[in-house]
Structure 1
Amino acid sequence: MKKIIFCLTAISFLLLACSSDTSQSLTTQPETTLPSTAELLREDYQSSVDNSQREYFVYLPRGYHSKPEKKWPVMLFLHGNGERGNGQDELGFVLMQGPLYEAWVQKKDLPFIIISPQLPMFGFDKKGITYIDNRSKENIPKRLANGVPKRSAAFQTQTAMQRTPSLTDMGEVAPLLPQGWEKLETDLIAMLDSVQAKYRVNVDKTYLSGLSYGGFGTWYLASKYPERFAAIAPVVGWGHPSLMAPIAKHKLPVWQFSGGRDSAVNIQYFYAGLDTLEKLGHNNVRFTVHEDKGHDAWTRVYSGDDLYQWFLSYELKH
């Protein structure tokens, strides 16, 4: 069952069309008919983790309904640690940042169907983590009828802009963070299958991205199902060398992002995995370090156009 959260009417679109920011659109083809507006839906599912009833977001881009012949690229997005929740009344926290925030709240015209699930707490609400304990549903960003809300302030950091030596030996480093997206492996693939069956999806243009905890989840899921994705983009989450062999074997295009001043996920851990990919013969690997940014380098990554255009340049080969 799907529930429509919010959808602007065609009349509202006509009133706003003259003032909309068309520079954000990644599409260049002229519209011959009035395109349908974007929608944010909630899909029900039963989790294989604990058999609980949960929901996840599915974003349908502008023009989905008015172009019945078109099959759309799909992006699976995995959020960070602070957006965990029960998949019901807490699902809105998934809107805090990332491509879904950009597309729905900031009205960036992204031509993707976006699948955005929520990672369960798994006890993180009992650990005394400030950014989880102090969060409020009142701060969940809302899509406005007119315009867009002001962005949150950038993270403050005292870390100097300086090159940090790479940690080359990852033998004693755990490949994943505790209680992460790997626990939802079966659910995530089931969501992807369900959306690809239910909506008009271009299966050959299936992409995977995540930030922080979701960056680690991106590496993990890509290592398990490299044949399912045309390209991946882990953002401020590094990949362990032990996960790289399947990704290299399938020549899965990778664009890794990091913040040079990130005190939460230190840049020294990023190099070993990427170097392993190259040693395994994988030559389609990008690594962009935003030297001036901290952990929230994701804002620059997802608010721009470069990543999305890069995604669309790849499709699965048969």
Structure 2
Amino acid sequence: MKPVNLISRLATFRRAIALCALFGPLSMVQAADTDHRGEPRLERISYTSSLDKTERDFFLYLPRGYNPKSDKKWPVILFLHGNGERGNGKDELDYVLIHGPVYEAWIQKKDLPFIIISPQLHMFDMDKRGISYIDNRSPAQIPERLTEGVPPREPFFATPQPMSGDAAQVDMSLIPPLLPEGWDKVEEDLLSIIDTVQSRYRTDKNRLYLTGLSYGGFGSWWLASQHPDRFAAIAPVVGWGHPSYIGPIAKHQIPVWQFAGGRDQTVPIQYFYPGLNRLEQLGHPQVRFTTHEDMGHDAWRRVYRSDDFYHWLLDQSR
């Protein structure tokens, strides 16, 4: 055996041991208990957070037709939720079902041909800051998958302000690149979750997609900038990318589809342009930007229910 092969195998073996230590026997049992009949499944997978050593769960959606005994490999979406869906990763994990691809696939029964990873961001004391949509949330808001049919969709946010097409923010030097207590704080957990799913399920490693809304949109830009070799495409929704994070994404030419709401009063439209323009200045050939001028911050509702969104992802490969 050549020395370089031995070194490589030892590294792989050590990484496997580290993953087993992180995720433990409980998640292995859950993974082995996958339904073989081909119907969609929503699994809860346990892991130990590297941040605070607590046990937490994340959702794993397995699409119709998934079979662990088949040779077919499935594309994967990593979805990062917004600020209002934070929680302890246990009895609060269901808040993650309120929005995004898992809501579409599991609650609205949209037949999405992806394995979908949906973790929950730690609260980080956001429930002590007087944020109304966190303080006033209740389990009654969590949608349920119906035996027959699907529940009615929530109405869009009211947008009384006129459409304006605001000009771009020129100077971003004083604008913080990240929101406080965001997804960057759980980087190690996210990478370990990706690794364990890719190692235990039949996934296509060349078709790992990253998307998120609001806080998760910012997190998508950040995570892609730190690990640009891992993702086949990113689709940040109502969360802009700071120009300081653009270089690695442009270098690896990760296809980007950015979404914004023209009437968004939470994440103003003018901050989206500098990062996207920087991508093009660096010669990035695959930059899309869709602004839903008639919508506010919840433009994600339209984005994630759109067939075009998922077709575009499937067209991308690393």
Q: Note the alpha carbon deviations across 1:206-238, whole angstroms, 9 max, x for none.
A: 100000000000000000011100000000000
Shift of 1:138: 2.1
Shift of 1:68: 1.5
Answering whether residue 204 of structure 2 is matched by residue 202 of structure 1, we say yes
Matches within 5 A, 1:37-56: 37-56=39-58
Shift of 1:278: 0.8
- 2:112 aligns with one of 87, 110, 131: 110
The equivalent residue for 1:27 is none
Shift of 1:165: 1.0
The TM-score normalised by the length of structure 2 is: 0.88
Shift of 1:67: 7.2
The equivalent residue for 1:139 is 141
- 2:271 aligns with one of 269, 272, 284: 269
Q: Give me the whole-angstrom Cα distance separating, in 2, the residues matched to 1:290 and 1:205.
A: 27
More helix by share: 2
Shift of 1:197: 0.2
Shift of 1:62: 0.5
The TM-score normalised by the length of structure 1 is: 0.88
Aligned residue type for 2:212? G
Answering whether residue 168 of structure 2 is matched by residue 166 of structure 1, we say yes
Give every structure 1 segment of 4 or more consecutive aligned residues whose post-TM-superposition deviation is greater than 2 Å: 1-4
Gaps of 5+ in 2: 1-25
Q: Give me the whole-angstrom Cα distance separating, in 2, the residues matched to 1:168 and 1:103.
A: 39
- 1:279 aligns with one of 278, 281, 286: 281
The equivalent residue for 1:250 is 252
Paired residues of 2:107 and 2:145 also in contact (CA < 8 A) = yes
Answering whether residue 212 of structure 2 is matched by residue 230 of structure 1, we say no
Give the SS at the match of 2:229: helix
Q: Note the alpha carbon deviations across 1:177-230, whole angstroms, 9 max, x for none.
A: 000000011110100000000000011111000000000000000000111000
Shift of 1:307: 1.1
The equivalent residue for 2:103 is 101
Q: Give me the whole-angstrom Cα distance separating, in 2, the residues matched to 1:272 and 1:168.
A: 7
Paired residues of 1:36 and 1:66 also in contact (CA < 8 A) = no
Q: Note the alpha carbon deviations across 1:274-311, whole angstroms, 9 max, x for none.
A: 01111111121000000001001001100011111111
Aligned residue type for 1:68? S
Give the SS at the match of 1:227: coil
Q: Give me the whole-angstrom Cα distance separating, in 1, the residues matched to 2:111 and 2:68.
A: 15
The equivalent residue for 1:315 is 317
Matches within 5 A, 1:29-44: 36-44=38-46
Gaps of 5+ in 1: 11-34
Paired residues of 1:159 and 1:263 also in contact (CA < 8 A) = no
Give the SS at the match of 2:221: helix
- Identity score, percent: 60
Q: Give me the whole-angstrom Cα distance separating, in 1, the residues matched to 2:83 and 2:258.
A: 19
Q: Give me the whole-angstrom Cα distance separating, in 2, the residues matched to 1:80 and 1:90.
A: 14
Matches within 5 A, 1:12-27: none
Aligned residue type for 1:297? A
- 2:189 aligns with one of 182, 187, 190: 187
Aligned residue type for 2:301? T
Q: Give me the whole-angstrom Cα distance separating, in 2, the residues matched to 1:127 and 1:94.
A: 20
- 2:126 aligns with one of 110, 124, 131: 124
Report the RMSD for the aligned CA atoms in angstroms: 1.5
Task: Tell me the matched-pair count.
Answer: 289
Paired residues of 2:68 and 2:201 also in contact (CA < 8 A) = no
Q: Give me the whole-angstrom Cα distance separating, in 1, the residues matched to 2:287 and 2:188.
A: 27
